[in-house]
């Protein structure tokens, strides 16, 4: 059984809550960097070739090599896309570690899982701890999804979505949680748009994508509201994959029911 999304990504570092900042906008979300970001006008992601390296169960060395190769594919695609649209771009930094340090990116955390992935906004660095959860069944598209989801933090940072999210107002916990879900579900959609831009991968068929959509994602218990319901995650994954266009990933203007 694949570990659910929150077990892998719950500890990704994000900026502190800033819902009452003076520069924030009122609810519902109206910040132009969120609802009308130039990313949505940049067109379809370029069609590029991406080769998946071999993977073996519980082989950390191959797992790390896979993550690095997929991040290189992501860099190629997004660099071309952003620079062609005259949008900001800088390469992401990547670290592979045996264990995430207790102090990272200015914060202290307690280790929860054997596989962790963090994005540090301050340095533009992705740090991966590739462990048992990642490598339990590496034949599906899960690790490609993880690489794409984490890189999407970097995309959001580059185009100003992350900074805008940090200052947007909310009136209560429920509204804040909905904004968190909009932020996260956009990364799901951007990930799927990238996967479509390199599809079909050698040796893959539509069955691989259909199977991936059935894997556990989000928080099935409903206790953690950061990622969205499985149905919401599936909705945005399908949107991104259908078009390969970030314009399909504007979660900020979607109805609340679509980001539940």
- pLDDT at residue 118, as a whole number: 93
Q: By three-state DSSP, how is residue 129 classified?
A: strand
Q: Decide: helix, strand or coil at residue 60.
A: helix
**Domain around 132:** 5-259
pTM: 0.89
Residue 217: CB partners within 8 Å, gap ≥ 6?
4, 5, 227, 230, 233, 234
pLDDT on residue 224: 64
Rounded mean pLDDT, 94-99: 94
- Mark out the alpha helices in the chain (DSSP H runs): 5-9, 32-35, 60-84, 132-135, 142-158, 161-167, 173-197, 206-212, 230-243
pLDDT of residue 6: 32
Q: How far apart are the first and last CA of the chain?
A: 24
* Average pLDDT of the chain to the nearest whole number: 87
- 50, 71, 59: which is closest to 202 by C-alpha? 50
Assigned token pair, 82: 């952003």
Q: What is the DSSP string of 81-118?
A: HHHHTT----PPEEEE-SS--SEETTEE-----SSEEE
Cα–Cα distance for residue pair 121/90, rounded to 1 Å = 13
Q: Residue 163: is its pLDDT beyond 60?
A: yes
Domain count, the chain: 1
Confidence of residue 218 (pLDDT cuts 50, 70, 90): low
The CA-based angle 96-184-10, given to 5 degrees, is: 50
* CA 164/CA 255 separation, integer angstroms: 19
- Whether 216 has a pLDDT exceeding 80, the answer reads no
The Cα 6–Cα 223 span in angstroms is 11
Q: pLDDT at residue 103 above 50?
A: yes
Question: Residue 89: pLDDT above 60?
Answer: yes
Confidence at residue 19, expressed as pLDDT on a 0 to 100 scale: 41
By three-state DSSP, how is residue 207 classified? Answer: helix
pLDDT (0 to 100) of residue 217: 62
Select the highest-mean-pLDDT range: 20-29, 110-119, 201-210: 201-210
Angstrom distances, CA of residue 212 to CA of 149, 168, 204: 14, 33, 12
Placement of tokens 């340095």 in the chain? 123
**Residue 18 corresponds to which tokens in the numbers above?**
């800033």
Q: Which tokens sit at 93? A: 């930094």
């Amino acid at each position: 059984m694949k570990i659910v999304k929150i077990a892998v990504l719950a500890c990704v570092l994000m900026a502190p809550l800033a819902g009452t900042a003076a520069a924030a906008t009122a609810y519902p979300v109206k910040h132009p960097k969120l609802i009308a970001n130039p990313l949505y006008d940049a067109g379809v992601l370029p069609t590029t070739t991406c080769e998946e390296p071999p993977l073996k169960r519980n082989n950390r060395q191959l797992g790390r090599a896979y993550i690095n190769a997929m991040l290189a594919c992501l860099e190629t695609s997004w660099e071309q896309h952003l620079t062609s649209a005259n949008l900001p771009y800088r390469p992401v930094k990547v670290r592979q570690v045996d264990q995430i340090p207790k102090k990272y990116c200015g914060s202290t955390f307690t280790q929860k899982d054997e596989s962790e992935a963090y994005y540090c906004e301050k340095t533009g660095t992705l740090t991966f701890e590739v462990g048992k959860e990642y490598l339990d069944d590496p034949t599906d598209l899960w690790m490609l999804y993880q690489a794409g989801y984490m890189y999407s933090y970097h995309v959001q940072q580059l185009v100003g979505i992350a900074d805008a999210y940090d200052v947007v107002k909310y009136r209560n916990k429920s509204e804040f949680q909905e904004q968190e879900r909009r932020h996260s579900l956009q990364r799901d959609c951007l990930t799927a748009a990238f996967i479509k831009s390199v599809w079909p991968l050698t040796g893959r068929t539509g069955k691989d994508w259909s199977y991936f959509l059935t894997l556990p994602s989000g928080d099935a218990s409903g206790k953690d509201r950061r990622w969205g319901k499985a149905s919401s995650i599936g909705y945005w994954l399908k949107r991104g994959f259908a078009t390969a266009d970030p314009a399909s990933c504007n979660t900020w203007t979607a109805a609340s029911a679509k980001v539940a």
